[in-house]
Structure 1
Amino acid sequence: MTSDSVHAADAASARARLLELIKELAVVRGKVILSSGKEADYYVDLRRITLHHEASKLVGQVMLSLIDDAGVAVECAGGLTMGADPVGTAVMHAAADAGRAVDAFVVRKAQKSYGMGRQVEGPSVEGRNVVVLEDTSTTGGSALAAVEGVRNAGGNVVAVAVIVDRNTGAKEKIEAETGVPYLFAFGKDELGLN
């Protein structure tokens, strides 16, 4: 086996196991109000995945593979606090495990009025290729806010990537408003949520 086919096999295995864990731990059925204000018959609580001892590592592997497979070269990964924080950290660690340097960052909801007055925390994103991450997206609002914050900090946003796409128009909205590709690891159909 070549190293590419080993990588592909590892990525497929990580993706399959992560999908199992999402179905088992993160899909909650019942009426809920989403952060967008919309009502849904289910909730995908991805913090139960991104903060889980086994799943977190898989998140990093799957998301890094997703980004690589899309041909997107990144130096930094992160997004709007708080949903994106563990996703960015997972990608950073997966990249380090693969002998690569990808820094993580956090985008605050508003610029600080004290200290250094930054909205984007962590290593500087200025002049660097950045992927904006999110655990899931309904309207795209969090990802769009993160893109704006990163661009204001001088970062070059090259993609937006989410773990689960709810198929509610976020992809189309984000691509139209940012001009960058929207990538997702899993669609709601894969989670049995049609």
Structure 2
Amino acid sequence: MSNAPASQTLSSDAARERLRELIRDLAVVRGHVILSSGQEADHYVDLRRITLHHEAAPLVGRVMLDLFDREGLLNGVQAVGGLTLGADPVATSILHASAADPRTTGLDAFVVRKAAKAHGLQRRIEGPDVTGRRVIAVEDTSTTGGSVLTACEALTEAGADIAAVAVIVHRSDASREAVEQAGYRYLAAYDISELEI
């Protein structure tokens, strides 16, 4: 019996299916909620219950790497990250998965602050420098695209080359349209319809 984590031993299809099951069972919260966009919904997909879960987080990294690979982005991209807080555990999961994945030489992660720090190095983007590097802006899910586009704006100002925007769960066409209208490629590991809500 192998001591390797399931995220490394499962086939790509099995890893994707197991993560889908975990999202469906752990992250879907039913009931009236107000989303960060201000829109109302009768359910909420709380992906922090996934990105901070002991079994699911490694699967997030694996599934996102598989997505990047299918889309021809695994090689050439050097770092992933997005607007704090939703993107942070997504980027960290990808960072750890890439370190263990022979298909990559490893991806760095970065954190985009909502505003630059007023002290220290006064950086808006924390982690390895993104200037001149090819990056993917990530988010757990998006309704309007606002958070990830805020991250893209900061990345552009810092001189990063944005290869794509990628989310774990595609929630609304408004998000895809906003991202594509801003000139970025939009990728999602799952569509909301796959969660059987």
For normalisation by structure 1, the TM-score amounts to 0.93
Partner of 2:39: 38
Partner of 1:80: 83
Partner of 2:190: 186
Q: CA–CA distance in 1 between the matches of 2:138 and 2:54?
A: 20
- Which of residues 159, 173, 177 in structure 2 aligns to 1:172? 177
Structure 1 position 71 matched with structure 2 position 72: yes
CA RMSD across the alignment: 1.2
Q: CA–CA distance in 2 between the matches of 1:151 and 1:120?
A: 11
Q: CA–CA distance in 2 between the matches of 1:98 and 1:187?
A: 25
Q: Structure 1, unaligned stretches of length 5 or more?
A: 1-6
Q: CA–CA distance in 2 between the matches of 1:42 and 1:90?
A: 25
Q: Structure 2, unaligned stretches of length 5 or more?
A: 1-7
Sequence identity (%):
57
Displaced runs of 4 or more, over 3 A: none
Q: CA–CA distance in 1 between the matches of 2:174 and 2:196?
A: 18
- Number of residue pairs aligned between Structure 1 and Structure 2: 185
For normalisation by structure 2, the TM-score amounts to 0.91
- Which of residues 142, 165, 178 in structure 2 aligns to 1:137? 142
Q: CA–CA distance in 1 between the matches of 2:39 and 2:116?
A: 27
Partner of 2:129: 124
Answer yes or no: is the 8 Å Cα contact 2:133–2:160 preserved in 1.
yes
Q: CA–CA distance in 2 between the matches of 1:68 and 1:154?
A: 24
Q: CA–CA distance in 2 between the matches of 1:37 and 1:167?
A: 14
Partner of 1:4: none
Counterpart of 2:86 in structure 1: which amino acid? G
